[in-house]
Amino acid sequence: MNGLLASEFRRFRSRKLVKVLTALEVLAIVATGVIVLLTQEYGLASLADVLMGTSLVLLSVGWMLGASAIGADWHAGHITTILTWEPRRGRVMVAKIAASLTGVFVLSLVIQALLGVALAVAAAGAGSTAGADAAWLAESAGVALRVALLSTIFAGFGFGLASAGRNTAVALGVGFGYLVIVENLVRGLRPRWTPWLLTDNAAMVVIGRPLDFPELGRSTIEAGLYLSAVAAVLLLAAAGLFRARDVN
Amino acid sequence: MDPVIEVEGLRKEYLRVRGRRTVAVDGLDLAVPQGGVFGFLGPNGAGKTTTIRCLLGLVRPSGGRCRLLGQEPAGLYRVIARVGSIVESPTMYPRFSGRRNLELLGRISGIGRARVAEALEEVDLAERADDQVKTYSLGMKQRLGIAGALLKDPEVLILDEPANGLDPAGIVEVRELMRRLGRDGRTVFVSSHILGEVQQTADRVAILARGRSVAVGPVQEVLSAGHAAGLLVRLDDVLAGLRILGEAGIEARVDDGVLKVGLPPAEAARVTRTLADGGLYLTELRADEADLETVFLELTDGATRGKSR
């Protein structure tokens, strides 16, 4: 199992999509730092707000990376090759999930840390660092950790859907269709179902306190647990399908 | 000694749209003994790859059973370290080097870099090992797949059409490799439609048609199942020879400048005497023996026609 895990971690690290998306995020961070430096208006005290604002990008990246971690392997036929080395499908699935979710979690934390460092340097050079005390650090770290966890949960959504559909595009299409179209329709037509919508629960986890509107009637931890449960159901369903279906 | 591969009444059906069923393997029985090269022959769609997928646990049989090194698919993990395989075209990560691809696979079973280097050397890929796989030719990709199958230093090697995409030199190399592995006491189970290759390499063959085995045994035994094809006669004036044989009531035809005579080899003397009486002297006379291709076509064609009745 250790060898399989090591192999999957190395595969995840070496994926072109991981490298491209990481490079784009680093580029965006550098650009943000430069803009802040030029405008000379940034106050480091608002770092937590910036991290909340950039969370959508990280959640989308998490979803994409989770989906492509298994979807690309199905598409190219690598699953067949891997199964001729480790025929226990449960182990293959666990290793793939562990590698991609851990990879997304670490990547999200690193990106946010880089963003924080870039903004701190820019604020120290040409903005304001007032209010950057211990409470600020705890609040910013809390947001970063919640966003990283949420990105991991979203990677789980992407992984589960791509594994069941045996294609990355399935996960991206279903994700876009559900989050953008279905959830907005539900929000408008069935407001009572809002507490069960992924986007509202995700927003609550990012913000770290109950939303003013809509009222979900649950705590941040409960919202996080609800999203984790949805991801777990998707991953279990994907694992069940993987065990049951032929690999052609 | 127990067979390395055992297949009993294996059946695999695929459900198609509107509830239609396609039978890929239809009650196949097969036993592959330990050691040597076993050729698994059949036309496209005969069920060769499906059988291999069943053996490797990739596909669940609809009926029957199959065992590899004594293990059914559920217990395959106990013996998988002793089995190397290629199923259809080997899939590797195109942006990784050949070496890195093999290292990733090797890591699953704790195989180190030294063994990866040896496997690359065995298939003559050492010089290009650090290039991206996407720059490889089809033949080089196939050789990389074979290196992957050899990585575990396996007792059993299952190769699905290993000569696909290889140039003539590559085909000869693969043939030599299979022979060598078979001589070393390993069992090489190779599916192919290149019959000449199998005839030159395999010790035993099974011929598959429509998901069933239509012939199985040592190559020479299977060849002898082909019809005695008569005699081949070469002489300066084939048309005169054709006329003389015809006048003697001996069935013959001209094929590619040679007379094909419809008499068994035991009646060769009658042909020479008839031609000599007519003033013609032959330059060559030999039995028109069936090769594996002829037998294969006869058997698979027969099975197909039998099924369509």
B151 touches chain A (CB under 8 A): no
- Out of A51-65, A204-218, B263-277, which region has the weakest mean confidence (pLDDT)? A204-218
* In the predicted structure, residue A144 carries a pLDDT above the cut 80: yes
* In the predicted structure, residue B236 carries a pLDDT above the cut 70: yes
* In the predicted structure, residue B20 carries a pLDDT above the cut 90: no
Q: What is the SS3 assignment for B234?
A: strand
* In the predicted structure, residue B228 carries a pLDDT above the cut 70: no
A2: nearest CA partner in chain B: B108
Query: What's the pLDDT score for residue B308?
Result: 43
* Nearest CB neighbour to A84, from listed B56, B100, B104: B56
pTM of the complete model: 0.82
* Nearest CB neighbour to A247, from listed B58, B89, B110: B58
State the DSSP H helix or E strand holding residue B160, giving kind and residue range, or none if neither.
Answer: strand B156-160
Q: Which CATH class is domain B231-287?
A: alpha beta
Q: What is the mean pLDDT of residues A114-120?
A: 89
Nearest residue to B159 via CA among B258, B209, B210, B90 = B90
Residue pLDDT, tens place only, A67-109: 999 999 998 888 999 999 999 999 999 999 999 999 999 999 9
Nearest residue to B133 via CA among B104, B174, B176 = B104
Q: What is the SS3 assignment for A183?
A: helix
Q: What is the mean pLDDT of residues B145-158?
A: 92
Q: What is the mean pLDDT of residues B14-43?
A: 87
* In the predicted structure, residue A143 carries a pLDDT above the cut 90: yes
Structure tokens at A226: 């609800």
Query: What's the pLDDT score for residue B302?
Result: 58
Q: Alpha-carbon distance A198 to A153, whole Å? A: 11
Query: What's the pLDDT score for residue A42?
Result: 78
Percentage with pLDDT > 90 across chain B: 41
Q: What is the mean pLDDT of residues A166-177?
A: 92
Q: What is the SS3 assignment for A201?
A: helix
Residue A6 or residue B299, greater confidence: A6
- Out of A134-138, A204-208, B166-170, B258-262, which region has the weakest mean confidence (pLDDT)? B166-170
- Interchain contact, A88 vs B77, CB within 8 Å: yes
A38 band by pLDDT with thresholds 50, 70 and 90: confident
Q: Alpha-carbon distance A113 to B121, whole Å? A: 45
Q: Alpha-carbon distance B307 to B309, whole Å? A: 6
Q: Chain B neighbours among A 60-79 (CB < 8 Å)?
A: 76-78
State the DSSP H helix or E strand holding residue B41, giving kind and residue range, or none if neither.
Answer: strand B36-41
Q: What is the ipTM of this complex?
A: 0.81
Domain residue extents for chain B: 5-224, 231-287
Query: What's the pLDDT score for residue B289?
Result: 67
Nearest residue to A71 via CA among A183, A199, A157 = A157
Q: Alpha-carbon distance A162 to A66, whole Å? A: 8
Say what the alpha-carbon torsion angle B165, B169, B172, B174 is, to the nearest 10 degrees. Answer: -50
* In the predicted structure, residue B303 carries a pLDDT above the cut 70: no
* Nearest CB neighbour to B105, from listed A85, A247, A248: A85
Q: Chain B neighbours among A 9-28 (CB < 8 Å)?
A: 10-11, 14, 16
B57: nearest CA partner in chain A: A87
A246: nearest CA partner in chain B: B59
A1 band by pLDDT with thresholds 50, 70 and 90: confident
Confirm if A77 and A172 have CB atoms less than 8 A apart: no
B22 touches chain A (CB under 8 A): no
With respect to CATH, is domain B5-224 assigned 3.40.50.150? no
Query: What's the pLDDT score for residue B187?
Result: 94
Furthest CA-CA distance within chain A? 61
Structure tokens at A178: 């559900």
B14 band by pLDDT with thresholds 50, 70 and 90: confident
- Interchain contact, A246 vs B53, CB within 8 Å: yes
Query: What's the pLDDT score for residue B309?
Result: 38
Say how many CA atoms lie within 13 Å of B127 toward its Cβ.
2
Which chain A residues contact residue B57 at CB under 8 A?
Answer: 83, 87
B-interface mutation test, from A4, A14, A80, most B Cβ less than 10 A away:
A80
- Minimal CA separation from A182 to chain B, in Å: 29
Mean pLDDT of chain A: 89
* Nearest CB neighbour to B87, from listed A3, A11, A84: A84
Decide the pairing of beta strands B156-160 and B187-192. parallel
Residue pLDDT, tens place only, B43-60: 888 889 999 999 999 999
Residue pLDDT, tens place only, A172-181: 999 999 999 9
* Nearest CB neighbour to B91, from listed A7, A78, A87: A78
Residue A209 or residue A236, greater confidence: A236
- Interchain contact, B77 vs A86, CB within 8 Å: yes
- Out of A67-76, A121-130, A191-200, B122-131, which region has the weakest mean confidence (pLDDT)? A121-130
The one-letter amino acid code at B66 reads: C
* In the predicted structure, residue B290 carries a pLDDT above the cut 70: no
Kindly report the number of other CB atoms within 10 A of residue B294's CB atom.
16
Query: What's the pLDDT score for residue B155?
Result: 93
- Interchain contact, B92 vs A81, CB within 8 Å: yes
Residue B151 or residue B256, greater confidence: B151
User: Tokens 């419809």 identify what position?
Assistant: B262
- Burial environment of residue B132 by CB neighbours within 10 A (0 to 12, 13 to 18, 19 or more): middle
State the DSSP H helix or E strand holding residue A222, giving kind and residue range, or none if neither.
Answer: helix A220-244
A83 touches chain B (CB under 8 A): yes
Distances from the Cα of A183 to the Cαs of A174, A194, A239, B153, in angstroms? 12, 8, 26, 54
Decide the pairing of beta strands B36-41 and B204-209. parallel
Decide the pairing of beta strands B83-86 and B156-160. parallel
B235 touches chain A (CB under 8 A): no
* Nearest CB neighbour to A80, from listed B58, B93, B108: B58
